[in-house]
Amino acid sequence: AQSVTQLGSHVSVSEGALVLLRCNYSSSVPPYLFWYVQYPNQGLQLLLKYTTGATLVKGINGFEAEFKKSETSFHLTKPSAHMSDAAEYFCAVSLSNTGNQFYFGTGTSLTVIP
């Protein structure tokens, strides 16, 4: 069975502090991995994605994520949080053996404390 787990439904960080949002997946085939951000009453905005190649992926707004196959993880990080980073973050996996259906994590709500 395929699944995506986001540890921590709520994460709070101080402005300027490191942001770390965790994502683990289970898959029997090589996954495509995605991080999305969602602001209130808006759709999903792609932050970054891993398909093949370099395992450290850089995205928009200073975010990056590293694919670690041995740990089945794809954690999202940002060195210094900004107030505008406060939002909901979703990790997703796309699998070729399911017609590239997306499986979403339950989401992590990020709060940035001034």
Of these, 61, 97, 101, 111, which contacts other proteins (CB under 8 A)?
A: 101
For residue 61, give the nearest of 32, 30, 41, 39 by alpha carbon. 39
Minimum CB–partner distance for residue 102 and other proteins (Å)? 6
Looking at beta carbons only, is 63 or 105 nearer to other proteins?
105
Tell which positions 47-86 bind other proteins, by CB under 8 A: 49, 51
Does position 106 interact with other proteins (CB under 8 A)? The reply is yes
Of these, 11, 90, 110, 112, which contacts other proteins (CB under 8 A)?
A: 90
Minimum CB–partner distance for residue 44 and other proteins (Å)? 4
Amino acid at 53: G
> In Å, how far are 5, 24, 41, 98, 113 from 59, measured between CA atoms?
21, 19, 22, 26, 23
Looking at beta carbons only, is 84 or 100 nearer to other proteins?
100
35 exposure class (CB count in 10 Å sphere: 0-12, 13-18, 19+): buried
The residue count for binding other proteins (CB under 8 A) is 21
Provide the greatest CA pair distance for the chain: 44
